[in-house]
Structure 1
Amino acid sequence: MPTSIIIADDHPLILKGLKDFLIEKEYNVIASAKNGKEAFTLIKAHQPEIAILDIQMPFLTGLQVAKKCKEENLGTKIIIITFEKSEEIYKEAKSLDVYGYILKEFAIEEVEHCIDNVLQKKSYFSPELIEYLEIKQIPKELEILTETELRVLQLTAKNKTAKEIADIIGCSPRTIEKHKSHIRSKLKLSSNANSIAIYAKEQEEFLSKYT
């Protein structure tokens, strides 16, 4: 079955252009809306796989629609399209579990690739936005580690020994070594004794929140 999509934009030409493109690419565009309130009503009624929303719309913004969808546990994945290159908006979008963030000037070029990523449950943010904001994204592999493993990695980056880490976390040095073994396995690091320390140092800026 074609991917079901609802689109919303208060600019008629942009809305028509996006709709025509998606239909041409054989997506199932269920409906389109000209404001945020209408968009949310349609999402709630049809619960499409994806909703592509302009960020600035009357009644409700794209992010306000995303917030309402999150509050009501709707499964629709949200893609935002905007001219805005704002770190504040970027961070808010991330906090609302928005899956895609496309700059309007690249919308037609990027939307298909963005949808493909979203269908695989991967987020997609315009490379131009990331480059503009100079955002360093957290390496994907860190997401597969447990909170304790991340803490061990973070303390390793600070040159703590297994015994020192064990004292801080409140367990035995042997347990810490087991955690390190799991980290090596998950991250596919070599069995070299220094491999974790080297990796931890390379990712220290991302691990700093686990202090």
Structure 2
Amino acid sequence: MTISVLIADDHPIVRDGLRGIFTGRGFEVVGEAANGAEAVALAERLRPDVVLMDLRMPGTDGVAAIAELARLGNPARVLVLTTYDTDSDVLPAIEAGATGYLLKDAPREDLFRAVEAAARGEAVLSPAVASRLLGRIREPAREPLSQRELEVLTLVARGSTNKEAAKKLFISEATVKTHLIHVYAKLGVKDRAAAVAVAFERGLLGS
């Protein structure tokens, strides 16, 4: 059975290369799109089995296109093919409805197998992406800091001792220590310096 493929990538040379490797191998490239909006329009008209979707394209990007295809109920399976494997790229694409996620440095045989699997509705993830997603699943949920915990941490970041923080917040020194213990647990750290550093990193404290 021939698998119909739509290629969505803003680089003509990439589209040409993909068309070349897929032609005559049990696949039929039925169309090419240079951005997400074109990909959605062509997928609606051509009804391909699989859409090979780049993520970063001008105008409508890949994630927006994936979400739109899902909203429209388009039956095409979307296989992301990109050079990016950061959390900010991988997670939105998977959440939007992508069937798989491969990197452009994947061997062509892996790409063929991935498209075949995607056409069957099977999830396909490159090893790097799979381990990244597993890491996020295993990572404990981050419980937000309470307003009082943020106030204590802000004073600590400004150099206040527990005693000084207690005086400024009109609470006991023991209460300040309790708040800090909770802060350490929520941020996954063991001391004041690390708590302040992580809080800045996460944007919890002003610069």
Bin of the TM-score, shorter chain as denominator length: 0.5 to 0.7
Is the alpha carbon distance of 1:135 and 1:58 closer, same or farther for their aligned partners in structure 2, counting shifts above 3 Å? same
Instruction: Please say if residues 79 and 101 of structure 1, whose CA atoms lie closer than 8 Å, have aligned partners that are also in contact.
Output: yes
Aligned to 1:110: 110
1:84 Cα shift? 1.0
Q: Structure 2 CA distance, aligned partners of 1:129 and 1:122?
A: 16
1:31 Cα shift? 0.8
Aligned to 1:55: 55
Aligned to 2:100: 100
Q: Structure 1 CA distance, aligned partners of 2:122 and 2:137?
A: 13
> RMSD of aligned C-alpha atoms?
2.0
Indicate the larger mover: 69-78 or 81-90: 81-90
1:136 Cα shift? 7.2
1:32 Cα shift? 0.8
Indicate the larger mover: 82-91 or 44-53: 82-91
Q: Which amino acid counterpart does residue 25 of structure 2 have in structure 1?
A: K
Aligned sequence identity (%)? 23
Structure with bigger gyration radius: 2
**SS of aligned partner of 2:105:** helix
Is the alpha carbon distance of 1:119 and 1:133 closer, same or farther for their aligned partners in structure 2, counting shifts above 3 Å? closer
Is the alpha carbon distance of 1:97 and 1:63 closer, same or farther for their aligned partners in structure 2, counting shifts above 3 Å? same
Q: Structure 2 CA distance, aligned partners of 1:58 and 1:94?
A: 20
Q: Which amino acid counterpart does residue 65 of structure 2 have in structure 1?
A: V
Instruction: Please say if residues 81 and 107 of structure 1, whose CA atoms lie closer than 8 Å, have aligned partners that are also in contact.
Output: no
1:97 Cα shift? 2.1
Question: How many residues end up aligned between the 2 structures?
Answer: 138
- CA deviations 1:25-81 (Å, max 9, x no partner) are 230111111222211110011111111011111121111110000111111110111
- CA deviations 1:146-178 (Å, max 9, x no partner) are xxxxxxxxxxxxxxxxxxxxxxxxxxxxxxxxx
1:107 Cα shift? 5.8
- CA deviations 1:6-30 (Å, max 9, x no partner) are 1011112111111110114230111
Indicate the larger mover: 124-133 or 25-34: 124-133
Uncovered stretches (5+) of structure 2, i.e. residues with no partner: 139-207
Q: Which amino acid counterpart does residue 115 of structure 2 have in structure 1?
A: I
Question: Where do residues 3-152 of structure 1 align in structure 2 (5 Å cutoff)?
Answer: 3-106=3-106, 108-131=108-131, 135=135
Q: Which structure 1 residue ranges, 4+ long, deviate > 2 Å from structure 2?
A: 107-110, 128-138
Question: Where do residues 149-188 of structure 1 align in structure 2 (5 Å cutoff)?
Answer: none
TM-score by length of 2: 0.61
Instruction: Please say if residues 87 and 132 of structure 2, whose CA atoms lie closer than 8 Å, have aligned partners that are also in contact.
Output: no
Q: Structure 1 CA distance, aligned partners of 2:4 and 2:134?
A: 33
1:96 Cα shift? 1.8
TM-score by length of 1: 0.60
